[in-house]
Structure 1
């Protein structure tokens, strides 16, 4: 049962809205908005929407109104439907809250984004940040499948060797790259690894153009990976989201690569939005 006493308060109607003895002029209140806020609060506090009649009883509205409110809130992105039934707070609501919060924690927001991405694609999902010349893997979310990648949380890898690392350095000028990565020849692990800044520059230019980075067994044999950048409120690249999985899955499903790229980019946009980034915002160099 909800611990919030306001969930069980009756919604003001025309008869009680004009209460001259109240602390505020209730004639200014809009009942549908109050009902929507009660429903949002109910969902945010963990209430289940699987039984609409029960939800209606808890927030004191009828079942049909609950259904219409859910449809409206889902349309606006304030709630989203769960695969197992019911609803949870949507990205639009989280983004709205994020703009209000004084401090924004990258990893708190990223956990949910990675979980959704991993569940959808059934691939391992990662969050990486730049630390000197390395990509540092901060988070990982794995589907219920066998481990196929050797990258663990806390792993450090030279940034130019992996897809999230490439996205993190894609916007850096060459002098900064040299300062972070060192002199040529660059570290290599496979025949696809760039050993020169000329080759690395070509790869990063293609990554910037595409908006994501791909690797086909370029770091770990038999593992394909895709990554996209995450921006903060200032437009700076602060992290990268990536997924990795066995190349045989991509070979068996020709359309998987397109879907992965689309969903990784969307996940990166969602996380950027939660950090206060506005789409179309210019990035600082």
Structure 2
């Protein structure tokens, strides 16, 4: 093990560079390699409470581990835990989120919706907020005739649908009025909120539950459940929903609980792919 590697000629440890290539090893920067090893070790759940053990695992000495940790902590790539040790830092999470954000949200959502629709045999949707409307970006429909059939590209006033309610649930009333307009609010059924007082009560209940439910409140005979999707900063950027005939819920008393559980899980999965870390809401 080299205690003082040069910047351009790291010690050629067997596990440092894959064998068999023609790459010029003199172009590699030893400290960067070691820092990245340490980051991988921490990101994969490795403990840094014993620096000597960490050094053994990443093939550097204890002092180097200490210096690497101090540098990574200074740059926000790792952060110290109250109980000792370190975890991935928020700046690292944001950096990863920016990389992920270079891919369209819909790329990640497609597989999530497909799994949700297949599991529940209900129509699954991804919606985003556009002004005062929820815009339906994606849908996945099961091979059954008993499904909801909202078209991709449809726009609906956000307060009328479960994904729309999740998208506006965290907005103050002034922002809601700016997006939705003055009272009375648009209604499509007797359950639609016509006033901001009524809408406020509904959104408060949605926030408390962590999801929104509708029972024939938008499409007659169709029940729906939605949960919010967060980005790395904790902002609500989308909502995942499922919808299907109320007769299925009436016939299966356990379906509602299962739907809520799986919709929330799907939203958490998609949030994680976007870099969201639980507890870091904006």
2:221–2:246 Cα contact (<8 Å) kept: yes
2:55–2:62 Cα contact (<8 Å) kept: yes
Bigger Cα displacement from structure 2, 243-252 vs 94-103:
94-103
Does residue 1:5 correspond to 2:5, yes or no?
yes
Bigger Cα displacement from structure 2, 155-164 vs 51-60:
51-60
2:228–2:267 Cα contact (<8 Å) kept: yes
Per-residue deviation, 1:150: 3.7
1:230–1:238 Cα contact (<8 Å) kept: yes
Distance in 2 (alpha carbons) for counterparts of 1:83 and 1:120: 40
Change (3 A) 1:177 1:69: closer
Deviations 1:124-160 (A, max 9, x none): 0000000110000000000001153241101000000
2:229–2:236 Cα contact (<8 Å) kept: yes
Bigger Cα displacement from structure 2, 112-121 vs 40-49:
40-49
Change (3 A) 1:4 1:212: farther
Distance in 1 (alpha carbons) for counterparts of 2:146 and 2:6: 47
Distance in 2 (alpha carbons) for counterparts of 1:147 and 1:5: 67
Deviations 1:183-226 (A, max 9, x none): 00000011100000000000000000000000000001100000
2:206–2:212 Cα contact (<8 Å) kept: yes
**What's the secondary structure of 1:17's corresponding residue?**
coil
**What's the secondary structure of 1:8's corresponding residue?**
coil
Per-residue deviation, 1:103: 1.6
1:8–1:60 Cα contact (<8 Å) kept: no
**What's the secondary structure of 2:190's corresponding residue?**
coil
Bigger Cα displacement from structure 2, 54-63 vs 32-41:
54-63
Change (3 A) 1:116 1:15: closer
**What's the secondary structure of 1:240's corresponding residue?**
strand
Change (3 A) 1:215 1:52: farther
2:10–2:30 Cα contact (<8 Å) kept: no
Structure-1 residue corresponding to 2:199: 200
1:224–1:247 Cα contact (<8 Å) kept: yes
Distance in 2 (alpha carbons) for counterparts of 1:68 and 1:189: 63
Change (3 A) 1:175 1:272: same
Distance in 2 (alpha carbons) for counterparts of 1:124 and 1:81: 44
2:241–2:263 Cα contact (<8 Å) kept: yes
**What's the secondary structure of 1:245's corresponding residue?**
strand
Say which one has the larger Rg. Answer: 2
1:13–1:31 Cα contact (<8 Å) kept: no
Change (3 A) 1:137 1:59: farther
Change (3 A) 1:109 1:80: farther
Structure-2 residue corresponding to 1:266: 265
TM-score, normalization by structure 1: 0.66
Distance in 1 (alpha carbons) for counterparts of 2:138 and 2:4: 33
Distance in 2 (alpha carbons) for counterparts of 1:116 and 1:7: 48
Per-residue deviation, 1:101: 4.2
Distance in 1 (alpha carbons) for counterparts of 2:195 and 2:77: 48
Per-residue deviation, 1:247: 0.4
Paired residues in the alignment total 282
Structure-1 residue corresponding to 2:40: 41
1:95–1:273 Cα contact (<8 Å) kept: no
Change (3 A) 1:174 1:96: closer
